[in-house]
Structure 1
Amino acid sequence: MPLVASCQDKKPNIVIIYVDDLGYGDIGVNGAIGVKTPNVDELAKNGLNFTDAHSAAATCTPSRYSLLTGSYAFRNKAQILEGDAPLIINPKMATLPKMLQKAGYKTGVVGKWHLGLGKGKIDWNKRIGPGPEEVGFDYSFLIPATGDRVPCVFMENQKVVNLDKNDPITVSYGARIEGYPWGFQHPELLKQHTDPYHQGAIINGISRIGYMKGGKNALWVDEKIPFVLSKKATDFINKEKDNPFFLYFSLHDIHQPRTANIKFVESSSMGPRGDVIAQMDWCVGQITKTLKSQNLLENTLLIFTSDNGPILDDGYVDYARELVGNHKPGGKYRGSKYSVYEAGTRMPTIVHWPKKVKAGKSDALISQVDLYASLAKLLHQTVNKNEAVDSKNVLNAWLGKSKKGRKFLLEEAYTYGLRMGKWKYIQPKNKPVPNWIVQKFVNPGFSKQVQLFDLEKDPSEKINISKDFPKIVKKMEKELARILK
């Protein structure tokens, strides 16, 4: 009898599948047109599908920072990092994986990192620290930054994989270095053409941000990335199957450059962007099949979500805008990646834990910044005052036991948005939209005037009603000032 009881009380495994640039409307269950996502839809069918769940920010590095630290990114001035930036999480800081280690979990991160590595100038030919291990991960297999930036190599436990010591790696952001040819000089070598920002080193027929030489044997092949990452993630599950484990599986898809494997080419009607959505869905299937084969799926808390809203044109010419058809990446919501409007942070979010979470839908207002405090509550871990300062325990909302999530929810972009129930407030921004955002066909939500929307009546944020509800505006201004202070 005691053995049965201990099995029933066993801590759940925790898996976060963190997709890149996937919009609210980019999965089948949320209305996708032109691409099928059967594995994600199966999670939603047997799990809890959230309609008002948010990343902390409308860009990647800030969202990842907030997820792992329980702290808003603006507190550390976290912005999109170059590929050779130092680690932006202080190794002395409490983090989600460190908290889970204290709770008895083996922790692993596989995929896109983009939180910086090391302290200063990086020597890519040695172990680089601090990094994932110093912030709480027992195992790491990384894309060190992101796919459109050098170095184009994998790192396992903070060392470059397959590096030949006779062919050392040098990376430069700014000063051009001889090595791999440059996109602006050799457009004939490119599989995809790019904007002016992505015309550095050409690797695997794709020009990147930054310059690189050396490391030929270590270079990744973009079309194989989903298979490499999925294999490393499932290997981690198989290895740790007898321990409670935490896996942060951070996909590169559907970020540009979108280079689908031949297995997925023309699997959608939307060209490369749709094809890599199908590819992403396959990766999800690899995780769920592995959990099922190890009899772990029932007692695994699996959270599927994205780091920020969708973007069609983000540097590479793959005709996503021309081929999108009737598909709406952000669903009925206005905005995109880089934007303070709802689609910038309102994420497809599914919680799947058959043992504890009933299938259905939830309109609870929740943020990824709250995962730290909520999981700490689940596992009876204490969160001290100076830890995860912005994270709130809304565990009952995450598990579908309550529709009550956050009273206020911050949305970080290039200005600030604040949610309170149906109300959406946007802080005025008396600055022109940067040209690099204009070139991406993005409306970041800048306005010299206060903006207020009733999302129940106006989910597309078209009608500014700030003058009609001065008390609501004043209340939300006061709360935003308190958060920012």
Structure 2
Amino acid sequence: MKAHQTFGMHFPKLGRWLKSAAMLVCLAPALLSAEKPNIIIFLADDLGYGDLGCYGHPIIKTPNIDALASEGVRLTDCHSGGTVCSPSRSSLLTGRTPYRVGFYTIAGPERSHLSSKEVTLAKLLKDDGYDTCFVGKWHLGKFKNQPDPGDHGFDHWFATEVNAFDGPESPAKFIRNGEPVGEVSQWYCDAIVKEASDWMAKRPDPSKPFFLVVSYHEPHTPVHPPEKYSKMYDNDLVNKLETEVAYGEVHRPLNKSIVENKKYYYGTVTQLDDSLGTMMKAVEKLGKDENTMVVFTSDNGPETPVTVQESANQWEDNSRDRSFGTPGHWRGMKRYVYEGGHRVPGIVRLPGKVEAGSVSTQLVNGTDWLPTVCHLAGVEVPSDRTIDGTNIMPALKGTAVEREIPACWMFPVGYDYRYLPSMAMRDGNYSMIGWFEPKRGEQGNSEWVKSTKLNRFALYDLSVDRSQANELSKHRPEDFERLKKKMIALWTNIQEEAPDWKNQ
């Protein structure tokens, strides 16, 4: 008979204590591994799928983001929740398709904002004991008379309502926890990374897990990096290599300068990369790098260059002449529901759970971050509303994920690009495209969103047709009809929940 069994027979309480102690010793490694992870989400603005070295860009140097990819998983089928800023940001925080939340375009029209009725990832984590922080571009409503980051679960926030400007020469005006900070004499990416680093270092209880969103302005227009970055790309080799870059089947106008303008965009992406490197060093210095999930992604595809298809005076300020982002080989750019408008870089570093240097080809959408982080943190996903996303932990390991609700994207209302389709939906490698009626020129409000119908469709197989040039309705009629019905049902469901801002 074993010693602890003998003790247990004669001294029952002591025996039970020894048994419990032995169980705790055995469970110690599991308890330690169950420590809630810190979460950092880096969100770039208008960064294209093909804009990073680790995604194949022949020119732009991004050593810090590339290093992040080498330490985690690089996603090749990652998507933002929308095709422009505000819709994507709402999806990331709520796990819901933007039109359910009321973002039919960027925040502002018809008083649209992130309603107090929405439950955000920050709120869920805060209620579970996380410290929460938001730094950077909010773009989900006005800070006066509409819910701000603090109202949506962020303990600490340092933000601008919309974009920054041209760096220190024309600095952004930040608000910190509801109080104006005034003009900050730093480049935007440097200012928000400093704020985030300081917040991490000064938390009253560093043992608590934290959730941090670093929401960049870069490389959104206006594009004006420090000279040391633009000079890196001012040479003949860059001029030669630029001719090899694809722009999503969107052609640049012949009367716009390429030689003089491209260096600014390339330099801005490298500037963003440096700031991420600074942030990761701060995480490592605090000893948090081994228990921190780091996500790097973008809010939509790259900004569209001004072309002859658009109004001649719509962009007369030339703000987009320096936009040289690329979706790689995918068709479309920002605003487009073709793949290039929402397929974006996606990198996840999570030591012990995600294999370093791995690549996943599984579909990941912007709506997925909320349920995935909740799963990791052991937090319940809201059950009183539709959550479009799903836990994509299996996808981060290369395994297929079953989706109850298909991933979908809508073109933002208020833009008169009548030649572009209105909605996209993914089903495996199939991309179903649909057009709303009446014509987009007649749209612009909640009433239109809640009444318009899908009346034209196109089907593409992305596994063999990245440029979405070969429409398949006649070649695969059964799949076409099946997905047409599925898209109509999905859109009808979204319309029913979409808020009417005029009556809010």
Settle same-fold status: TM greater than 0.5.
Answer: yes
Change (3 A) 1:59 1:291: same
- 3-state secondary structure, aligned to 1:231: helix
Match of 1:304 among 296, 305, 317: 296
Deviation of the 1:301 alpha carbon:
0.4
1:250 aligns with 2:242: no
Pairs within 5 Å for 1:27-42? 27-42=52-67
* 8 Å Cα contact 1:87/1:117 also seen in 2: no
Structure 2, unmatched stretches of 5+, are 1-24, 239-261, 307-314, 413-421, 443-453, 494-504
Cα distance 1:466–1:147, how it changes in 2: closer, same or farther (>3 A)? farther
Shift of 1:460: 0.7
How many corresponding residue pairs?
Answer: 404
- For residues 221-243 of structure 1, give each alpha carbon's deviation from its aligned partner in whole angstroms, at most 9, with x where no partner exists: 5x622211110111122234432
Whether 2:356 is the aligned partner of 1:356: answer no
Shift of 1:29: 0.7
Residues 37 and 8 of structure 1, relative CA distance in 2, 3 Å threshold: same
- Rounded to whole Å, the distance in 2 between the matches of 1:41 and 1:463 is 33
- When structure 1 is superposed on structure 2, of 8-17 and 370-379 the one drifting more is 370-379
Partners of 1:291 and 1:159 in 2: CA distance: 27
Counterpart Cα distance in 2 of 1:80 and 1:145: 14
Note the C-alpha offset of 1:41: 0.3
SS in 2 for 1:134: helix
User: One-letter code of the match for 1:334?
Assistant: R
**What amino acid maps onto 2:340 in structure 1?**
A
How far off is 1:368 after superposition? 1.3
Displacement of 1:79 in angstroms is 3.7
CA apart distance, 1:72: 1.2
Is 1:93 matched up with 2:129? Answer: no
Partner residue of 1:53 out of 78, 94, 97: 78
Which position in structure 2 is the counterpart of 1:155?
Answer: 175
Deviation per CA, 1:134-173: give whole Å up to 9, x if none. Answer: 1111110001122369994101012211xxxxxxxxxxxx
* SS across alignment from 1:366: coil
Give the aligned residue type for 2:384.
N
Go from structure 1 to structure 2 and tell me whether the alpha carbon gap of 1:405 and 1:19 turns closer, same or farther (over 3 Å shift).
farther
Is the CA contact (8 Å cut-off) linking 1:363 and 1:403 kept in structure 2?
no
Helix, strand or coil for the counterpart of 1:272? helix
Residue deviations 1:84-134, cap 9 Å, x none? 98572222321111111122211110000000135xxx4xxxxx6631111
1:345 aligns with 2:342: yes
How far residue 448 of structure 1 moved from its aligned partner, in angstroms, is 7.6
Partner of 2:152: 135
Q: Secondary structure at the match of 1:338?
A: coil
Matched, 1:115 2:144: no
Q: Please state if 1:226 is matched with 2:189.
A: yes
The one-letter code of the counterpart of 1:154 is F
Alignment of 1:174-193 (within 5 A): none
Structure with bigger helix share is: 2
Of residues 268, 282, 294, the one that matches 1:290 is 282
Question: In structure 1, which of residues 26, 38, 42 is the aligned counterpart of residue 51 of structure 2?
Answer: 26
Q: Distance in 1 between matches of 2:111 and 2:282?
A: 34
- The 3 A distance-change label for structure 1 pair 267 and 151 is closer
Alpha carbons of structure 1 residues 434 and 337: separation in structure 2 relative to 1, 3 Å: farther
User: Which residue matches 1:480?
Assistant: 487
Contact 1:373 1:388 (C-alpha < 8 Å) held by counterparts: no
Identity of aligned residues (%): 32
Opposite residue 470 of structure 1, the aligned amino acid is P
Describe the shift of the 1:348–1:403 C-alpha distance in structure 2 as closer, same or farther (beyond 3 A): same
Conserved 8 A contact 2:295-2:349: yes
From 394, 397, 420, give the equivalent of 1:396: 394
How far the C-alpha of 1:49 sits from its partner, in A, is 0.4
**Shift in alpha-carbon separation, 1:33–1:100, aligned structure 2, 3 A:** same
Contact 1:21 1:255 in 2 (8 A): yes
Aligned residue for 1:265, secondary structure, equals helix
Aligned equivalent of 1:278: 270
- Matched residues in 2 for 1:98 and 1:131: separation? 12
Taking a change above 3 Å as real, the CA distance of residues 374 and 388 of structure 1, as seen in their structure-2 partners, is farther
- Alpha-carbon distance in 1 for matches of 2:28, 2:340: 47
Q: What one-letter code is carried by the residue in structure 1 that aligns with 2:46?
A: D
Cα displacement (A) at 1:416 = 0.7
What are the Cα deviations for residues 182-207 of structure 1, in whole angstroms up to 9, with x where unaligned? xxxxxxxxxxxxxxxxxxxxxxxxxx
Residue pair 1:372, 1:388 contacting (<8 A) in 2 also? no
The letter for the 2-side match of 1:351 is V
Are 1:264 and 2:229 counterparts?
A: yes
Give the TM-score, by structure 1 length: 0.77
- Which SS does the other structure have where 1:254 is aligned? coil
Match of 2:6 in 1: none
Q: Over the residues paired in the alignment, what is the CA RMSD in angstroms?
A: 2.8
Matched-pair contact (CA < 8 Å) for 1:365–1:406: no
Are the structure 2 counterparts of residues 132 and 59 from structure 1 closer, same or farther at C-alpha, using a change threshold of 3 Å? Answer: same
Residue identity matched to 2:147: P
SS at match of 1:267: helix
Q: Is the deviation greater in 452-461 or in 151-160?
A: 151-160
Residue in structure 1 matched with residue 259 of structure 2 by the alignment: none
Distance 1:336 1:71, change over 3 A: same
Question: What is the Cα deviation at residue 19 of structure 1?
Answer: 0.3
Asked which structure has the greater CA Rg, the reply is 2
Aligned partner of residue 435 in structure 2, secondary structure: coil
Residue 42 of structure 1, CA deviation: 0.4
Cα distance, 1:85–1:159 mapped onto 2, change above 3 Å: farther
Query: Taking structure 1 as reference, are residues 59 and 23 closer, same or farther at Cα in structure 2, changes over 3 Å only?
Result: same
Alignment match, 1:237: 200
8 A contact 2:223–2:268 mirrored in 1: yes
**Distance between the aligned counterparts of 1:26 and 1:85, measured in 2?**
34
In structure 2, do the counterparts of structure 1 residues 404 and 92 end up closer, same or farther at CA, with 3 Å as the change threshold?
A: closer
Conservation of the 8 A alpha-carbon contact between 1:54 and 1:366: yes
Structure 1 residue matching 2:333: 3-state secondary structure: coil
Is 1:464 aligned to 2:464, yes or no?
no
Within a 5 Å distance, the mapping from 1:159-170 to structure 2 comes to 159-161=179-181
Contact persistence 2:164–2:188 (CA under 8 A): no
- The verdict on how the C-alpha distance between 1:8 and 1:393 changes in structure 2, with shifts beyond 3 A counting, is closer
